[in-house]
Amino acid sequence: MRKVRLDFCDFWPGFCKTDNFFWDILKTRFDVELHAQPDFLIYSNRESHVHRVHNCVKIYFAVESFLPDWRECDYAMTCHYLDDPRHLRLPLYVLYGEPACLVKDAEELDSLLASKSRFCSFVVSNAGKRKTQKRVDFFNHLSRYKRVDSGGRYLNNIGEPIPNGPAGKLAFLRQYKFNIAFENDSVVGYTTEKIFEAMRERCLPIYWGNPRIAEEFNPRSFLNYLDFPTEEALIEKIIELDRDDLKYLAWMREPYFRSNRPNEFFDTKRLLDFFESIFTTPVRPVSRQRRWFQIGRWVPVKKNRPAPPEAQQHAPITEEAPDDALI
């Protein structure tokens, strides 16, 4: 196995460097070593600063709908459809579970319906108007027909917010017939975990977001806001399905994937081949091509240079080690 010196930075709080989606997949093909002076760095938050202290090959992973900044990274994995060998389309939902949980077998639909004791769920914790207004307006509109349970910190109406983390959200969704699965924005390619989690718990997703979502999931398995001429028409459809069990179950019978086979973005070989190309292609990292550095608050403190002899034996880092520092 090819040995790879790797590090991560600028991910979400609680991110574990040796127990995460990328680490677990990469170690199936490569001898991966977490190292303080890596040859390759995977980073996520482009607005953070830790990745800037490295001058190795940098691989950007976008959680939101940001495009890669090729002045900052050598390779990128984002939600966008880009015709560039440095880029791999990797929708965020791929990180949220195995595709097998969306592959439908001969499910007992009567039992499924009996388990759905409540109408519709809604989970929003970010109260920023720019990101939430579309789904908040829809939540209020649909609530005129029947109570929609809001389990997040924002507009909570169930007594207290659901527990943090995927497990708490999944347990909450499980009891509902419908789920409002609106993205932060409607951007081509931008598909997050929201529709995936609703499908996983066998809610009928009410989706708004990626205009090309039907290329990833069977359009007969969810209600796509963009398929309806007006918001009123969509709500009329929801009411129709809520009042007619047979029609509701007809939608729930549909496979989530086309032909009931996971889409290409779940293919681990595709991802590993992308990393294989990165690890085997000699490049001069973009961070070493700069001829100047901005002098100001942020001063680079870690460059990929040989460590002094007395420190070399301590070069590898463990998960307990603090993140790279800036002074």
pTM, 2 dp: 0.87
Q: At what angle do helices 193-200 and 166-173 cross, to 10 degrees?
A: 50
Burial class from Cβ neighbours inside 10 Å (0-12, 13-18, 19+) for residue 256 reads buried
Contact 75, 287 (CB under 8 A): no
Q: Which residue carries 């991910």 as its tokens? A: 11
Dihedral sign for Cα atoms in the order 223, 227, 231, 232: negative
pLDDT, residue 32, reads: 98
Give the three-state DSSP class for 290: coil
Tokens for 26? 């990469």
Residue burial 55-83, b: 16+ Cβ < 10 Å; e: rest: bbbbbbbbbbbbebeeeebbbbbbbbeee
- Quick one: CA torsion of 129, 133, 139, 144, rounded to 10 degrees? 110
Which residues, given as ranges, of the chain have pLDDT below 70? Answer: 107, 127-131, 290-327
CA of 254: how far to CAs of 100, 216, 241, in Å?
Answer: 15, 14, 14
* 278 closest CA partner among 15, 10, 9, 29: 29
CA distance 162 to 14: 18
pLDDT in tens, 60-69: 999 999 999 9
CA of 105: how far to CAs of 13, 97, 280, in Å?
Answer: 36, 17, 40
DSSP 174-215: TTEEEEEEE-SS--TT---HHHHHHHHTT-EEEEES-TTGGG
- CA 50 to centroid of chain Cα atoms: 21
Residue 275, Cβ neighbours under 10 Å: how many? 23
How many DSSP H helices and E strands does the chain contain?
9, 11
CA distance 302 to 296: 16
Q: Which residue carries 């399905």 as its tokens? A: 241
SS3 readout for 69-138 = CCCCCCEEEECCCCCCCCEEECCHHHHHCCHHHHCCCCCCHHHHHHHCCEEEEECCCCCCHHHHHHHHHH
CA-based radius of gyration for the chain: 22
Identity at 214, one-letter amino acid code? A
pLDDT, residue 198, reads: 98
